[in-house]
Structure 1
Amino acid sequence: MLNLQGYGWMLLEGLQMTVLVGLCSLALAICLGIVGAGAKLSGNPVLRGGANVYTTVIRGIPELLLILLIFYGTPTLIQNIAGDMGYDIRIDFNPFLAGVITLGFIYGAFATEVFRGAFQSIPRGQIEAAQACGMHRLLVLRRIILPQVWRFALPGLGNVWMVLIKATALISIIQLEELMRTASIAMGATRLPFTFFFIASLLYLGITLVSVFIQQRLENWANRGIRRA
């Protein structure tokens, strides 16, 4: 019988934290993705340029480096600037908040491309027909575009979620007690690295399997009434 030496509940708490960080990060990523996609498809060159810089830079820098930069680098930078101005302040970022913001910011760049493709997949004729019926832009967005965007975006967002939930393991480096961090603590206390890391891998796999099931149900819901060739 597998002996977890009293650390089983710690792993479950770490699992809950991992899922919570993942869901909060995904919500932020979706918000940034919609805004970023709108900027990329905008006729304003400044907005388009800013969105292109965002997606290019973020996708080109390793996630771990960005986490370290935000959690450790940003407070130090602010403190140094304040010190040069004669202020003595100390800033400590909350690990949960730092993890959510960093992962949401990173995967918002990927979600931007997902939503951009989804917006472009909507037939232009539908939008023109809605405008011909007298609908203003916001009404077209609410009644024509957004209901269909989710149908095209869900497969891509599912992939973003799969990668994001695995990336939560990286935030163990900022001492947030998610699944990877709790597995490391249990391993250090019991000297059973294979046992706890193997269990952690099974729990990550469990999240993936549940996510695949939910994604399939959401895609079926979004595609209801759509005739398949």
Structure 2
Amino acid sequence: MINSSKSSYCQTKLITEDIKYTFRVISRLVNYNAGTPLPPATSDQTLADDFVQFFYSKVEKIRQGLDASDLHDNTASPDLDRSVPNLGSFKIQTQENVDKVVRSCANKACSLDATPTALLKNSTVLSVVLPTITELVNTSLSTGVFPNELKRALVTPRLKKPGFDMRTFSNYRPVSNIPFISKVIERVVAQQLNSHLTRNGLHDDLQSAYKTGTSTETVILRIKTDVEAVLDEGDAMLLVLLDLSAAFN
């Protein structure tokens, strides 16, 4: 009966036109209880401390490299022949706007949350806590302060690629799971920031990430087209790929 119920449940989940959702369901089924491969250690505490020290020192090296360069003396600005209004402040949100943001978030949970995300998004529960969530969001937007308590995250080391040496810390990347309210504030800010960039034409035409309608697929198609055009002319092409180290959130 249990196996039959599980099978029926999974089949129901797979009946969707959302390809990304389908792959997430399949991934959970294939990797069920697979766990996270971690380096050998004398204790969990020792391993956690070693990972913290490694990630911390990696960020410190990047900061020191930036401080030693001339990057901080330059002001990045778009190459435009027109003036662009500054985004001087964020707009205060109505409860209706925050409600839409909350409902659009995934049901992913974090143990730092007092309430499971799925329960929080329940209409009855949300109607009670929505005024408080809206107040938190608007206070953060108006003061320009992201509460320290909401900056806390559960960091999980993930092997960058299956088959990598588990004993080498540099083969791991940190995945941070933050509280749900943090995600709501982030999404509200991202919407306003992206709206400002789009409205004022500040996105680069060739940008293929963090922009609606683009992805890694569009950049590959663009490069493929450029390469073919050059080769058709009988010319040679040099492709330079720059790998930025440790692009942390």
* TM score, norm. by length of structure 1: 0.24
* Structure with more of its chain in helix, by fraction: 1
Larger radius of gyration: 2
Higher-RCO chain (CA-CA 8 Å, sequence separation at least 6): 1
* Structure with more of its chain in strand, by fraction: 2
* TM score, norm. by length of structure 2: 0.23
